[in-house]
Amino acid sequence: MNRRTILDELETLPADKQQEVADFIAFLRSRMGSKQSNEKEQAAKEPSSFVGMWADRAEMADSAGWVRHIRARDWGTPHA
């Protein structure tokens, strides 16, 4: 069905049935929005493949110290 046919069919309905169609469209749109929100929330909950990728590295035992060392090396700042 194309838009013109749908609109023609809608116009043949009584006003109360046209309102039902409008309500159903609003329902479908709200359901689409919540589905998209749920997909985004689910994606945010799933761990990234990068999570834990350095877990076995010895220098990460003191990650703050490692960052200080790298900054001192690359930026020329003194060790804190």
Domain ranges of the chain: 1-46, 49-80
Q: Nearest-CA neighbor of 23 among 12, 10, 36? A: 10
Q: Rounded distance, CA 66 to CA 14, Å? A: 73
Asked whether the beta carbons of 45 and 53 are under 8 A apart, the reply is no
Q: What is the pLDDT of residues 21-58, one digit of tens each?
A: 999 999 998 888 766 666 667 777 777 777 777 778 88
pTM above 0.75, yes or no: no
**pLDDT given at position 13:** 93
